[in-house]
Structure 1
């Protein structure tokens, strides 16, 4: 056997979204990095081999898309991929190649595909990893990879296990942490593995005969009464899942075979027996069946901190916060297809996703932050982890395990490991002694942290005076309003509460950019034949994900009179100002109470940063529909899209709109300008634009380029009284761009001119940084 020995600073094992993001982040921080992946493609569960589509916080929260490396990848994939993303099974090789292209372009990143780690070599004290030993499949080559920091992103915690780390597997009992979703008694139960299938429309009837060894499915109750509804003829069923009584690691091949038997049997049921589906599938042929099971859960490595569901539900604020999540607490029935009921039966009432269901109410959570300590192994000095093997309880893993969240974890550990090496610091000291440096680098690289913002002292933009050619004022929108949403849809499997009737309390978030609000109006339809009344409140709120039914003391409340008729604008003279609780640069929420004779009309467009919500439980509200805006008007107009937003340190709607938008009534070109009293020696300009924030990845069409994202722009600098063109960019569609100038230049002013966008009539920028 050929033997090779190589030395790196950071070694990442596992090339799923967590490992890939960790390796790219480390390489971008200037560290010689090696990524080892045991499959022929990157992506893990989201590769074309397995086909699980990437989910994250934006499935349940407006403007909650994960950003950073994961955003860069997904924006690129949508811009160049011809394929619709429906659900599981609908990942093609374009995605594989987008990831491969990024890996190849990272100069300090070396990667080995088709390579399995078979051993871990420890130092004599058994507390530090010296190297990992791996075999390259079909190459008869053994690699010994030495490193300073190792990152376990294998999913199954393979490296940590071989290194002797403590780990958990199974479900904690209720008595240990008093978690809402924990079972009464602890057990070894974990969520199962899945494979997926895809069907293709052939344009004419296509027969199907299952092999004799396929499972025979003949009972409609197994599907329609037990939460396994085959509602989509193309495939994409998460519930083709098996776990208990099998071991999700050791019995992986047995599970794969059993899942294959069931998949063929399920397609046979749909094609030949199901009275609902056989007509819909008559022209469809089975096109692909995955043969690599996607895992949800196995080993969880014990770290410096164990995240519990209580941290998730209470949105614990951690000093060492390095990322966020927001998927619901999604705990699948351990047996999957072998259990009496699929998760959907108990949790979501037959996969109809009733958001008022008790399970869905208690499972709706986030967005929440998570700590770096949960990504540092406690038993080995130089081991970190990211992905579904992190230090979390079974219940907490129900929300942390989705790939949008694990990608954020990966980027965090890649940066943290680099900081530890830079400072020659033990990993366990980073959360206390170097966390600000980690957080500020993550923010600079496009990530979002709910409780931290840009405070980089090296960023010249933070001290600049910001002006613009124009800026949009908030007046309001109605049912007739139009917006730029071409190609932006919804994820069809998403809980779709879309009811304008005030059958439950609803709230509309509104940004204040003035110290006065005299009148607020709502567009209502009274479906009865007599005047109706509805209670109304105005609350200051913490941010757009403040889902408390009563978020604090109201600063105004009244009862509105609603005459009969459709689309009636009802005015409320609130006369709010600083003296009675209205503050500039804040969000308020306008709530209307219950009256089933009244509809609160949805706006015909979405105002950036202005989402709505509705009440689902006694104390909890939830995002309305897919981040849509309800009709409202304000007087006077609110200056909430001002130029100064680009240096407030946050790059998405959160505690405020945080975006500069030019006046839609003025034609492009539009510009934003930074001015300093003393000239700055400038070498690097970093820009963050709108793009792919509002909704889940699934909502974005093939070849999608976000209309709000600037397409063509120029950057000019004022040097000794003369404007110089520093650079020109054409055909942009990425959210974050970093521009290094050919040489340093002293500037008193810097101007960014947006010449065109990918569709919107306004120029928009979230952040400008200058170094």
Structure 2
């Protein structure tokens, strides 16, 4: 036993740790930053003030993870974030397609616990910062309430991913809170004082059907008059969790120091809403339903934003400005909310999309006045308007991965964050990120160490796309529909043959379109337009457009809506080939066309978006001459996802034993091989509520093997579901050739490979 005499005072138990990088904040951004840095070879301490990781995506808040894909409701094709965040989302979908937030907690915790270079401190809140001089942090102090321990954490580099910027604020980093004026950055979407300068917090609730009548007695603090919520008629008994994202409050308050008061007001709202649903008599279907869970901490949207050497602004997003130091991308709409939140008469959000994804520069990811401080997550250097897009978790985590890799390079090179902006250093950072699967728009991986760059590459077959065969399933042309096909610059558009069924004589209008920016997928430029007289009945139509494009890009064969016409689907799925529809998706303010009613500095354009699987099928057609852009050589072109071209080797659909052969004139010493597969970067992989039709993306190669020049099997994998797969040979192999055997997973899905790299 332990027995101590009475004393005047006792000291807290103190633990002192030193690392190469201390990451404060274990939300999705801090987690991805820490994992990226640790895998790059440095020692990391990850400090999280909650019992689980994930922040707003955790089971404590239960917000789905989204980024540039925007629920597939915008024109950002193949825009899911890569690297660690992609790995996490695919792992969650494989284990947890139902979207259970508790399971997502386990995915994040496991990812961190499997990293030997990370020391994780949960339930540990940083409260003090020590400097070695006016511009440099030397250590932070943190307290864990669960074990009564005071931690002193030292490192040459720090990253604040805490959401409120607890370290950056305490150390005196320059910051902003609220909205800039229109004149400061020329942002026409800058909000008025009447609209409000801050986004508020939210608390969500989950319900379940018990199968028997359940009564609800509201707590005394519950909102009694539901009409205080102007949009109360939107409530249903079915919606729950972050489907009710607009239960928001606090934008008129201090979203840091008034958080507890905001929480109580949100509890008042949540229990008042459930009281209305259960007891108003307007929802008889709620009789057997009960509250299963109510959040105990609010999900924060906005507080402080810290200044870097560059502040991303509205024009960076809308104009898709290019930056020499781009390290990440965003693509969520500029999404601002009225400060009065749930009590506002205004719509719950004001969203304006860009025509494509935009670059995020490295200069936004470190403090301009604290020399050894990275900033990550929603607190990066952005104006309030730009923050409306950069704040979402997929985008925040993606930028944080860049901060983690930058920290590793700084530590190894004995640099401070600003020094990485020199052109030679930034190229190294961009290359190292791309090696981990971090796609950076406008950049290709250039890696002289990759042995594949000097290999002769051949394949058992290469797809020439001559047909998307009909499956006999007809769909009505109630909305305009398009088939996306890749086209090389200067190559004439092939003849298209497709099939229609007309219920009466009519005219079908077909347009060939492309984007004004070759790497976007907003079909705003009409290259050719045909009006075809269609007699009643079923028949084929032949489309000859007699045009070519000036740059490599995707073209859209657009069949404009006509309720008298039906067209046919194909079951064949091919990487980088998809259909899109000019439909609406009100969840992301997609009403078919973006049409600003005043000059807000945003563009007007149409939305053309794919359907989700199990739908999302291609439009049946024949293509003559066939499209031959799926060459084996694509696996070393430095881009591992579809962009303005498919960027993949794709085998012919009839090839039952697809193989890729790498050959060198001399014996190669190979210690590591990197493979990248197609896990459908168009699919958002939301983490909660949105259930997914499969656990493994249909394009992904699950089973494969490698043989050497003696036809000996040197590696085999079964059950892959990740984008990236690393093969590490602890005893190097010596060979003049490698043969990769890929197993077809689905008869109607062409086998594809995005990338292969080999290293000594």
TM-score of the superposed pair, with normalisation by structure 2: 0.88
SS in 1 for 2:230: helix
- Partner of 2:32, secondary structure, is helix
2:446 maps to which of 441, 448, 455? 455
Would you say the 8 A contact 2:24–2:162 is kept in 1?
yes
Q: What is the RMSD of the two structures over their aligned residues, measured on CA atoms?
A: 2.8
Instruction: From the superposition, tell whether residues 104 and 507 of structure 1 become closer, same or farther in structure 2 (CA, over 3 Å).
Output: same
Measure, in 1, the Cα distance between the counterparts of 2:559 and 2:462.
30
1:266 aligns with one of 263, 270, 273: 273
Contact 1:603/1:630 (CA < 8 Å) preserved in 2?
Answer: yes
- Distance in 2 of aligned mates of 1:536 and 1:762: 28
Q: Count matched residues.
A: 716
Partner of 2:418: 428
CA contact (8 A) 1:174 1:184 kept: no
**Are 2:508 and 1:519 aligned?**
no
Q: Which residue of 2 aligns with 1:634?
A: 623
Match of 1:411 in 2: 401
Shift in alpha-carbon separation, 1:274–1:16, aligned structure 2, 3 A? farther
Which one of 248, 251, 259 corresponds to residue 255 of structure 2? 248
Cα gap change, 1:526/1:72 in structure 2, threshold over 3 Å: closer, same or farther?
A: same
Choose which of 218, 222, 238 in structure 2 pairs with 1:232.
238
Counterpart residue number, 1:79: 94
Deviations 1:509-565 (A, max 9, x none): 2124795654123444545x43425253354875463325127xx3xx352313133
Partners of 2:232 and 2:757 in 1: how far apart? 54
Preserved CA contact (<8 Å) 2:515 2:522: no
Q: Distance in 2 between matches of 1:684 and 1:638?
A: 34
2:734 to 733, 740, 746: 746
Structure 1 CA distance for aligned equivalents of residues 693 and 24 of structure 2: 32
Contact 1:78–1:701 (CA<8 Å) still a contact in 2? yes
Over 3 Å counting, the alpha-carbon distance change for 1:622 and 1:299 in structure 2 is: same
Task: Report the counterpart of residue 491 of structure 1 in structure 2.
Answer: none
User: Hey, what does 1:363 align to over in structure 2?
Assistant: 353
Structure 2 stretches of 5 or more lacking a match? 1-11, 583-591, 596-603
Following superposition, the deviation at residue 640 of structure 1 comes to: 2.5
Q: Deviation of residue 426 (structure 1)?
A: 2.4
SS in 1 for 2:113: helix
8 Å Cα contact 1:714/1:729 also seen in 2? yes
Equivalent position to 1:546, from 512, 521, 546: 521
Q: What are structure 1's unaligned runs of at least 5 residues?
A: 86-90, 348-359, 483-497
Q: Distance in 1 between matches of 2:660 and 2:496?
A: 30
Structure 2: how far apart are the matches of 1:167 and 1:750? Answer: 53
Kindly state the Cα deviation for residue 419 of structure 1 after the two structures are TM-superposed: 1.0
Aligned to 2:391: 401
In the alignment, which residue of structure 1 is the partner of 2:380? Answer: 390
Q: What is the Cα deviation at residue 622 of structure 1?
A: 2.2
Deviation, structure 1 residue 760:
6.0
Q: Does 1:693 align with 2:691?
A: no
| 1:200 matched residue in structure 2 | 208
Q: Is the Cα–Cα contact under 8 Å of residues 571 and 748 in structure 2 kept in the other structure?
A: no
Q: Check whether the contact 1:510–1:587 (CA below 8 A) recurs between aligned residues.
A: yes
Deviations 1:605-642 (A, max 9, x none): 65432333647257523232437444443112212322
| In 2, Cα distance between equivalents of 1:249 and 1:566 | 65
* 2:288 corresponds to: 283
The 5-angstrom pairing of residues 105-120 of structure 1 reads 105-120=114-129
Of 636-645 and 43-52, more deviation after overlay is shown by 636-645
Matches within 5 A, 1:203-352: 203-219=211-227, 222-223=230-231, 228-230=234-236, 232-236=238-242, 237-273=244-280, 275=282, 278-344=283-349, 347=350
CA–CA separation in structure 2 for the residues paired with 1:334 and 1:425: 41
Aligned to 1:662: 651
Residue 493 (structure 1) aligns with? none
Q: Is 1:616 aligned to residue 573 of structure 2?
A: no
Provide the C-alpha distance between the structure 2 equivalents of 1:264 and 1:291, rounded to a whole number of angstroms.
Answer: 12
Residue by residue over 1:172-214, the C-alpha shift from the partner in whole angstroms, topping out at 9 and shown as x without a partner, is 1222222232124599721000111100111223222212321
Shift of 1:765: 1.1
Between 15-24 and 364-373, report the one with greater CA deviation: 364-373
Q: In the alignment, is residue 587 of structure 1 matched against residue 554 of structure 2?
A: yes
With 288-297 and 693-702 compared, the bigger mean Cα shift is at 693-702
Q: Among 502, 505, 512, which residue is 1:530 paired with?
A: 505
Q: Secondary structure at the match of 1:391?
A: coil
Aligned to 1:32: 43
Whether the aligned pair in 2 keeps the contact of 1:174 and 1:186 (CA below 8 Å) is: no
Tell me if 1:471 matches 2:442. no
Matched, 1:16 2:27: yes
Determine if contact 1:42/1:96 at 8 Å carries over to the other structure. Answer: yes
C-alpha spacing 1:621/1:678, structure 2 compared with 1 (3 Å): farther
